[in-house]
Structure 1
Amino acid sequence: MSGASRNQGPPLGVCFSALQVDSDTRTLVFRTAEKVFLRPNTALKLSCFFEPNEKKKKDKSAAAAAAAESALTNATAPQTDRAVLAPRFRIQLTHKHFFGGDETMRATVRARYDVSKRFLKASSHLKKRFPLGGSTSLNLRGDCIAKLHAAEGSGSAVPTFAIQTPELSARAELSHKILAGTSTQDFQIRVGYELNENELYVTARENRISMRISSSGKWHMLYDL
């Protein structure tokens, strides 16, 4: 980022889109979002996810069996049961606070509401970065996450939420950035340890692609469009 762009401050809004896939769902999801800065460290993000209909994903085996049976009597039957892309909407409000006048320690609070799933998630994160020289740093992070699901049978416009026990987690990671790895790319590699999950993970990111792999075998990949 150039000095001129830093002096101009953050833009009023940013629009971006990406493709994502992970080891749990193995489903390609298209996501697009509009982030609006209410203040320099406060932003409202509106997101839309396009993914195969969840009900069809849950009933995939049964649907496949039914389609195979129907194909015996009607060759066009499988064409009518194909999964369709169902939009899912999410609203998120984020605020960041930096301590000590620098960016080595920050607290982040976030509230996220999934409109389609009627699911509310509130979280707070504390991160401390220890520069080790050059583009290498040691990062310590603690998280507190509270999940609230709309109670069953709550079909009103303002649902009643069932609060789950907040989840606490912590991690330590070593981060290294390779600036201008090529004429058009920067790279970042992070190796860390999740204390609660008792697992190691590696995250690699360049300008558009990021991928995370953990010692448990889980992975997640994101491609910015």
Structure 2
Amino acid sequence: METSLRYGKDSKALRIHAKEKFLIDSNTRLQLSASLGVGLQYTKHEKLRYFVRAKKGFPVTSNGLLSFNIKGRCDVDKEFKQKNSKGAAEFSWSIFNFQREQDIRFKLGYEVIDKVPYFQIRENNWTLNADMNGRWNVRYDL
């Protein structure tokens, strides 16, 4: 299970986030080339929501450290009436051992539906996300 502490501009509290990844059969092409997530989300205001998300990466360099990714997410309320969708295209550049025992990843992307550029900087367990609308969040992976 992956857990993290998260705080963002729109938050009024520090959140603990947990997620579990379930492996698909090792011969399944989806596992080797893309990821797919399906689940439930419960919030204080919106109650129960269902979501599905997918991501597909295309290596730009032969070592795979620079890649082009497309991703999307759709979530709906429990009556399947209110739908929220997101889609993005991004470049991701990973630098392993930037300094001793320090890995860094930069992402630069564009959220297609909201028409907003964004970036991410990740250093080992710390992640900073921000977009051109002034939204930001910080995450620490436990």
TM-score, with length taken from structure 1: 0.53
Are the aligned partners of 2:41 and 2:48 in contact in 1 as well (CA < 8 Å)?
yes
Structure 1 residues not aligned, in runs of 5+: 1-13, 43-96, 149-161
| Cα distance change, pair 128–32 in 1 and its aligned pair in 2 (3 A) | closer
Q: Decide whether aligned partners of structure 1 residues 218 and 111 sit closer, same or farther in structure 2, where only a CA change above 3 A counts.
A: same
Of structures 1 and 2, the one with the larger relative CO (CA 8 A, separation 6+) is 2
Q: Distance in 1 between matches of 2:52 and 2:104?
A: 28
Per-residue CA distance 1:171-220 (angstroms, 9 max, x = gap):
10000000111221211110000011110000111211001010000001
* SS of equivalent residue, structure 1 residue 216: coil
Aligned to 2:5: 19
Aligned partner of residue 179 in structure 1, secondary structure: strand
Is residue 198 from structure 1 mapped to residue 115 from structure 2 by the alignment?
Answer: yes
* CA–CA distance in structure 1, aligned partners of residues 18 and 52 of structure 2: 22
More helix by share: 1
Distance verdict in 2 for CA 1:34–1:140, change over 3 Å: closer
In 2, the alpha carbon distance for the partners of 1:26 and 1:116 equals: 13
Counterparts of 1:33 and 1:142, CA distance in 2: 20
Tell me which stretches of 4 or more aligned residues in structure 1 moved more than 3 Å. Answer: 32-35, 115-118
Q: Aligned partner of 2:96: which letter?
A: L
Change (3 A) 1:115 1:213: closer
| Partner residue, 1:94 | none
From the CA coordinates, give the structure whose radius of gyration is larger.
1
3-state SS of 1:103 partner = helix
Paired residue type of 1:143: R
Q: Compared with structure 1, are the counterparts of its residues 165 and 17 closer, same or farther at alpha carbon in structure 2 (3 Å cutoff)?
A: closer
| Partner Cα separation in structure 1 for residue 91 and residue 43 of structure 2 | 36
The AA in structure 2 aligned to 1:105 is A
More divergent stretch after superposition (113-122 vs 164-173): 113-122
Partner of 2:53: 125
Deviations 1:128-169 (A, max 9, x none): 211110310000112222123xxxxxxxxxxxxx44332232
**Counterpart residue number, 2:133:** 216
Query: How well do the aligned residues superpose, as a CA RMSD in angstroms?
Result: 2.7
Give the structure 2 partner of residue 177 of structure 1.
94
Unpaired runs of at least 5, structure 2: none
Aligned length: 138
| 1:28 correspondence with 2:11 | no
Assess if the C-alpha contact under 8 Å between 1:111 and 1:120 holds in 2.
Answer: no
Question: Equivalents in 2 of 1:171, 1:110: separation in Å?
Answer: 18
Superposed CA offset, 1:65-104 (max 9, x none)? xxxxxxxxxxxxxxxxxxxxxxxxxxxxxxxx743xx633
Report the alpha carbon displacement of residue 115 of structure 1 after superposing the two structures with TM: 7.5
Distance 1:218 1:118, change over 3 A: closer
